[in-house]
Amino acid sequence: MDDYLPFYNWTATTSTLLMAKQSPTNALWGPFLEKAWAKANGNYEIIEGGWGVEAIRFLTGAPTSSYYKGSSYTDAITAWNIVMSADKQNFTMMAGVPGASG
């Protein structure tokens, strides 16, 4: 994998890094992980709308678990207990929400 990242040029002097979500600290590890996942799957278009847990499992080899709204794990107390248990075990955690349509 090379160290080039995709940018969209708005004007001759303004461009934006293209990625799933811009880091509030402008960290670059996110775009490079996203690029590695896109390369492993063929291109960025293929990974659009995918599940982050798939990328984490593939890129790290770490076991993963997923909990979805509407499943038996959705009540607030159970969800909080899952998060607290994972935190105590120093697990890497992530959360996602569906994108807005349109």
If one compares 84 and 10, the residue with the highest pLDDT of the two is 84
Phi, psi of 8 (to 5 degrees): -105, 125
Average pLDDT over residues 10-24: 75
What's the gap between Cα 95 and its chain centre? 8
State how far the Cα of 19 lies from the Cα of 96, in Å rounded to an integer. 15
Instruction: State pTM to two decimals.
Output: 0.58
| Domains of the chain by residue range | 1-63, 65-94
**pLDDT the model gives residue 58:** 85
